[in-house]
Amino acid sequence: MKELKKIVRKTNACLIWGGALGIVPADSKIIQVEKVLGIDPESQLLASIMSKKLAMGSKYIIIDIPYGKTAKVDKKKATKLKRKFEQLGKHFKVKLKVVLTSAKEPMGSGVGPALELIDVIKILNPHEKGPKDLEDKSLFLASELLEMTKKAKKGKGIEMAKEILYSGKAFEKFKQIIKAQGGALKEIKPAKFRKDILSKRAGKIIGIDNKKINNLARVAGCPADKFAGLYIYHNLGEKIKKRDKILTIYSESKSRLKQALKFYKDKKPVRIK
């Protein structure tokens, strides 16, 4: 925590995972038990998310709840959670906004720590092109926060967010934070074993199951193996040709890669018609 405060004083920002710092130790232990039992009670979900924000002394909080047929929650449950988060925000006297976003398919192209970070770097770097859906969502959430904190006038947050991103200011700040935390962008690359999944016929992508994609990435070794995961080449509704790449599976071992290929064939997370 002492080191973290030093980084924040230097860069005005940091990138952390709460579990690594022991900010909310009881929550971390409860989550471990939940994973073993395969449960995710609503009360614990609310407590888990809010406890981290409050423990860090956050004054402005934005909570994004993705909803959809294969997402964690449907729209009805997402709306119910929104109301409960807003009640908690009032109770703890913090400025809190909840946004509901449609999640018909995975966000971005990469699935897995390193591959998702590669997406982020491509979006931040003005000389590269990252996934448009992830860029649009990031700009939207940033604009909401800029307006909440009165850094931008109502309705002008998106303009400010775009200027910060497209000018390269966001990327320079990101690199400054990574350097202060002892990281290096050049160390990010996918796992050494890979396999391309090709389309057996021409057609249209009619379904990408979020839960199955998430489970496929876990079979490949995520999130324990930071460089394992998936790269998805097409979005829902796109037309593809025969032998086009659907996705690439990355793994740190041949055996995990073999298991992931079997899972893909059995569960069919991507549907083409």
| Residues designated as active site | 40
Question: Cα 39 from chain centroid?
Answer: 21
Residue 110 φ then ψ, to 5°:
-90, 145
Sign of CA dihedral 117, 232, 260, 216: positive
Sign of CA dihedral 39, 44, 45, 51: negative
| Cα separation values, 224 from 113, 114, 171, 186, Å | 9, 11, 27, 20
Beta carbons within 10 angstroms of residue 143's beta carbon: 19
| Cα separation values, 9 from 28, 129, 243, Å | 27, 32, 52
**Which of 106, 109, 107 minimizes the C-alpha distance to 248?**
109
CB distance 137 to 149 below 8 Å: no
Question: Which residues, 6+ apart, have CB-to-CB distance to 199 below 8 Å?
Answer: 240, 241, 242, 243, 244, 245, 246, 272
> How far apart (Å, rounded) are the C-alpha atoms in residues 98 and 101?
10
